[in-house]
Chains A and B, each alone.
Chain A
């Protein structure tokens, strides 16, 4: 990953919720367009906190985050929204809005007062829904959709912002294996085709290893290893990351072995 290509660059991020309990102790991370990166680590490793720093939701105590060369904190909210989008773990609480209206909410940073959607906005929304295979339920209410469908709508909403970076926080932790696979594949497709930088906090090391382009392993606020799955899926690194002895089980047809706790 060369610096000029990296759109999102975090250098030496430190953060603590309470003064004597640092959560991030100096983490560096880069994301380039066209690549799908997964953050892995045990609970408490600081991966969600890192994501929140990357979103601009919390201010790191030290270190710098640059988006397209400019410091994150120098962005105004609407400017930032046109570069960077976020998908939460769970879809929004039940709203009586249709899927199409939710996706159009992603155009907030682009529209004028009252957020009324012009034809250009509708076109972008349509495109986003096509890419996420959600066009079929454009008129259905969000809470009528299944978990997987709703999550795809939320991703479409993020796409409607036309960002260069998408950040996702364990987007599939509550979904079944089919939808998990479906969404991970979609994220890789988006990263490659849009193209954009996709950074996803992941709870499933195997899924991430199979589909992501880059992995970042974190433990106790520090990066243990970063690189392609082939480089990073090693027994010593994973044992260190998850604090549990692991077995690597070779899988025929995949260049990355399966990981299993002993």
Chain B
């Protein structure tokens, strides 16, 4: 991962994504924001409803219970997709780095450590009912996020470079812990962990978990939305932003906290689904421009739509090709490669002009 450019450079491909519209763009007004919010919300609901009509069991056989379970799963997908996309957008804005995404803060690897430790301990410790996989994932993710902060902070403050470096360190350490943890797990459960680590939405999620995680994502999103103007100004550089009235250090801490909580909630619900937090903000910026105020509405809803469609595809197309359940994390990972190729080629094309 490249370190963020502290010095302004004119070759920064991150936020120089061209808008697809003409160069003349109207100033963002409250009306535009409301309009786009309404449109995206409508689209999200429409997609959700459409997705609940599709599944292994055909429309003729569908019962209320099955439809309700699909609806709940779409809600879960929406929460996870929105959380990851919003977190990714905020991090890319805060760190001014196009490759930033929620998992660089050590969150997904931390969740993995939590789940793995729980599985390893299950051999000799009958886990209490509340210590389920999602709870372990959330705990591990939060602990890891805290560790990243403690390693990166100086006098309570963090800066982008040390944050990224600290994330790499903690991720590496967690990776080692997971490799070692594999040695202690009953071989039957190693497959369990491997499936969890692919990232997938479970068939059903307990309402209490959904409520807690949904609240985490909602609160985090509200916090990030409230700071979205600040991310715009931050793009001018730390010193200019500070002198414009942005408290840069407070913004970093608040963003870090919100992103940590949202991502931990997403990973607790569905395991580490990759690339969503990276791809969706990019696409949002390419189509709608770099304004974070608009982006913080559009990216999360776009992420929700993306994941709902991906999840439905996984469940319906899978049986057709002979696999009952394709973890949705595989589909997002498969999207990652082509997406990066596309990014790179666009950059070449633009540089060549």
Q: Which residues of A contact B (CB under 8 A)?
A: 52, 55-57, 77-78, 80-82, 84-88, 90-98, 100-102, 104-106, 108-109, 111, 113-117, 122, 139-141, 143-144, 154, 157, 161, 167
Given contacts A55-B239, A90-B8, A93-B96, contact A115 B229 (CB under 8 A): yes
- In the assembled complex, the CB of A175 is this many whole angstroms from the nearest CB of chain B, namely 15
Contact B27 A96 (CB under 8 A): no
* A143 vs B285: C-alpha distance when bound (angstroms): 17
Q: Which residues of B contact A113 (CB under 8 A)?
A: 226, 229
* A102 vs B239: C-alpha distance when bound (angstroms): 15
* A89 vs B289: C-alpha distance when bound (angstroms): 26
Q: In this assembly, does B237 line the interface, its C-beta being within 8 Å of a C-beta of chain A?
A: yes
- In the assembled complex, the CB of A139 is this many whole angstroms from the nearest CB of chain B, namely 4
In this complex, the member of B7, B17, B96, B229 whose beta carbon has the largest number of chain A beta carbons within 10 angstroms is B229
Nearest A-chain residue to B31, judged by Cβ: A116
Contact B246 A98 (CB under 8 A): no
Contact A105 B9 (CB under 8 A): no
Contact A94 B27 (CB under 8 A): no
* A98 vs B289: C-alpha distance when bound (angstroms): 11
B interface: dominant SS: loop
- In the assembled complex, the CB of B165 is this many whole angstroms from the nearest CB of chain A, namely 21
Contact A94 B233 (CB under 8 A): no
Partner of A98, one of B12, B23, B232, B243: B23
Nearest A-chain residue to B8, judged by Cβ: A93
* A82 vs B243: C-alpha distance when bound (angstroms): 9
Partner of B30, one of A105, A116, A140: A116
| Total interface residues in chain B, CB < 8 Å | 44
- In the assembled complex, the CB of B284 is this many whole angstroms from the nearest CB of chain A, namely 13
Interface residues of B in 293-307 (CB under 8 A from A): 293
Would you list the 3 A-B pairs with minimal beta carbon distance, nearest first? A115-B229, A81-B245, A109-B245
* A262 vs B42: C-alpha distance when bound (angstroms): 73
* A100 vs B27: C-alpha distance when bound (angstroms): 8
Partner of B243, one of A55, A90, A95, A101: A55
Partner of A86, one of B24, B232, B240: B240
In this complex, the member of A82, A91, A108, A154 whose beta carbon has the largest number of chain B beta carbons within 10 angstroms is A108
Q: In this assembly, does B334 line the interface, its C-beta being within 8 Å of a C-beta of chain A?
A: no
Q: Which residues of A contact B29 (CB under 8 A)?
A: 116-117
Contact A88 B12 (CB under 8 A): no
Contact B290 A94 (CB under 8 A): no
Given contacts A92-B236, A95-B16, A114-B293, contact A80 B245 (CB under 8 A): yes
Partner of B229, one of A95, A108, A157: A108
Contact A95 B28 (CB under 8 A): no
Partner of B33, one of A93, A95, A116: A116
Contact B33 A114 (CB under 8 A): yes
Nearest B-chain residue to A122, judged by Cβ: B27
Starting from the known contacts A115-B228, A116-B29, 8 additional A-B residue pairs (CB-CB under 8 Å) come to: A77-B247, A91-B8, A93-B10, A97-B232, A108-B244, A114-B225, A114-B293, A143-B16
